[in-house]
């Protein structure tokens, strides 16, 4: 530890407590100089602690943190951004219409988890919604120069947002494997295909033989992967492939109800339905009730997500749990690493079957 990093009282500093008064007698906020005086260290050492703690001894780090707590010092983000070239903020960019944000509980759960994970680093999260081309243009103009990175949620194939962000050099992490970008974009995803396979296996082992599915949108990674898992397990179970048993949905409650009504018309003998989201499964349950089908006696229903919609359903949904807390935490970890200069990374997290009353 260098002499300048030895914690203790500085001999040429004013007594602690003077930071609270200005020349006019008004209280002023504590500064980095006040923190240095309280810690008995140089301003340069305090600055290194505030910028990551590099080349700082454990004793000096502890002294600075204690001084920050005692003085109530907070970082002047504007001043620091002028020095570092960073905004110290991150965008949560949802590429869906605004009404979907309020309808789908998954988005709120993910937003809360990312906010919590970033709070541990004292970084604010900015919610941005880009469901139209005009919104995408406005958000792209803001993102360039105003945020350090983007957490991208619900990207569709053909959606230019991720490509534009990548081309602009903006650090980016997608929720779900982006379609068509290979290893260029970091992402964190649940094991969608494995989860779908597990649900179909469970329905088969419970005695169901006419297992249909309401898939997610086939321009989304989750929709593609969950349908692929369904097809694979149907084949593994020795059941005949039947396209009449497959109806695409849009991840909404109304879309699930419409898809289930069509499925019942195509295959009235269906005895189980794997639904690619809990919110759509609520719509499926409504369609089955309207058709006079009992759940699970006549038709078993399995969802995907283990969102609040699963517990709010009647009967409560058997579903595949996505580890939302881990997904949000990993998205933040990977994004901060990328902002720090690391290469893009991919993280796939396991899912879990949750048994309830619907199957």
Q: Identify each DSSP E strand in 192-286 by its residue range.
A: 211-215, 246-248, 272-275
The per-residue b/e assignment along 78-99, b for 16 or more CB within 10 angstroms, e otherwise, is: eebeeeeeebbbbbbbbbbeee
CB atoms under 10 Å from CB of 29, counted, come to: 12
- The DSSP letter of residue 19 is G
Answer yes or no: pTM beyond 0.85.
Answer: no
Closest CA to 149 of 102, 180, 114: 114
Q: What is the pLDDT of residues 312-347, one digit of tens each?
A: 999 999 999 999 999 999 999 999 999 988 988 999
d(CA 288, CA 260): 7
Distance of CA 328 to the CA centre of its chain: 4
Average pLDDT, integer, range 123-138: 90
Which range, of 46-50, 58-62, 72-76, 190-194, averages the lowest pLDDT?
72-76
Highest mean pLDDT among 125-134, 145-154, 312-321: 312-321
Closest CA to 245 of 212, 293, 219: 212
Closest CA to 337 of 125, 148, 54: 148
**Could you give the C-alpha distances from 273 to 46, 55, 62, 191, 286, in angstroms and in order?**
60, 58, 57, 20, 13
Average pLDDT, integer, range 98-127: 90
Choose between 281 and 73: higher pLDDT.
Answer: 281
43-50 and 32-39 helices cross at what angle (nearest 10)?
Answer: 110
Q: What is the pLDDT of residue 336?
A: 93
Q: Left (φ > 0), alpha (ψ -120 to 50) or beta: where does 170 sit?
A: beta
Q: What is the pLDDT of residue 33?
A: 85
What mean pLDDT, rounded, does the chain reach? 86
Q: What is the pLDDT of residues 251-302, one digit of tens each?
A: 999 999 999 999 999 999 999 999 999 999 999 999 999 999 999 999 999 9
Average pLDDT, integer, range 104-111: 90
Q: Identify each DSSP E strand in the chain by its residue range.
A: 90-94, 125-129, 149-153, 172-175, 186-190, 211-215, 246-248, 272-275, 300-302, 319-321, 346-349, 352-354
d(CA 269, CA 113): 41
Do 186 and 340 contact (CB within 8 A), yes or no?
Answer: no
The model's confidence at residue 9, banded by pLDDT at 50, 70 and 90, is very low
Is the pLDDT assigned to residue 199 strictly greater than 50? Answer: yes
Q: Tell me: cis bond preceding 219? Omega within 30 of 0 counts.
A: no
Q: Radius of gyration over alpha carbons of the chain, in Å?
A: 26
Pairing mode of beta strands 90-94, 125-129: parallel
Do 173 and 331 contact (CB within 8 A), yes or no?
Answer: yes
58-71 and 43-50 helices cross at what angle (nearest 10)?
Answer: 90
Q: What is the pLDDT of residue 15?
A: 41
Closest CA to 196 of 241, 220, 217, 226: 226
Do 71 and 37 contact (CB within 8 A), yes or no?
Answer: no
Q: What is the pLDDT of residues 298-316, one digit of tens each?
A: 999 999 999 999 999 999 9
């Amino acid at each position: 530890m260098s002499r300048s990093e030895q914690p203790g009282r500085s001999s040429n500093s004013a007594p602690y407590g003077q930071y609270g008064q200005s020349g006019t007698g008004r209280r002023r906020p504590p500064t980095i100089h006040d923190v240095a005086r309280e810690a008995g260290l140089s301003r340069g050492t305090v600055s290194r602690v505030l910028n990551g703690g590099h080349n700082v001894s454990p004793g000096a780090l502890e002294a600075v943190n204690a001084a920050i707590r005692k003085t109530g010092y907070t970082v002047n983000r504007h001043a620091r951004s002028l020095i570092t070239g960073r905004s110290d903020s991150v965008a949560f960019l949802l590429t869906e219409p605004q009404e979907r944000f309020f309808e789908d509980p998954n988005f709120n759960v993910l937003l809360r988890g990312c906010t919590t994970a970033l709070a541990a680093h004292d970084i604010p999260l900015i919610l941005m919604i880009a469901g139209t081309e005009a919104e995408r243009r406005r958000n792209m103009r803001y993102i360039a120069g105003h945020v350090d990175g983007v957490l991208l949620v619900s990207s569709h194939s053909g959606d230019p947002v991720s490509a534009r962000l990548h081309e602009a050099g903006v650090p980016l992490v997608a929720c779900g494997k982006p379609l068509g970008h290979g290893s260029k974009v970091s992402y964190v995803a649940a094991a969608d295909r494995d989860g779908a396979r597990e649900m179909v296996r469970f329905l088969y082992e419970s005695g169901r033989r006419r297992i249909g599915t309401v898939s997610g949108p086939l321009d989304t990674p989750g929709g593609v992967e969950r349908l692929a898992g369904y097809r694979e397990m149907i084949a593994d179970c020795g059941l005949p492939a039947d396209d009449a048993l497959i109806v695409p949905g849009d991840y909404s409650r109304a879309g699930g109800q419409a898809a289930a009504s069509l499925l019942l018309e195509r295959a009235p003998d269906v005895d189980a339905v794997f639904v690619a989201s809990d919110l759509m499964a609520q719509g499926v349950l409504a369609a089955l009730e309207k058709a006079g089908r009992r759940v699970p006696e006549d038709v078993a229903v399995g969802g995907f997500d283990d969102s609040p919609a699963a517990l709010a359903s009647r009967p409560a949904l058997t579903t595949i749990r996505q580890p939302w807390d881990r997904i949000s935490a990993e998205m933040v970890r990977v994004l901060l690493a990328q902002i720090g200069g690391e290469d893009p990374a991919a993280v796939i997290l396991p899912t879990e079957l949750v048994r309830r009353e619907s199957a």
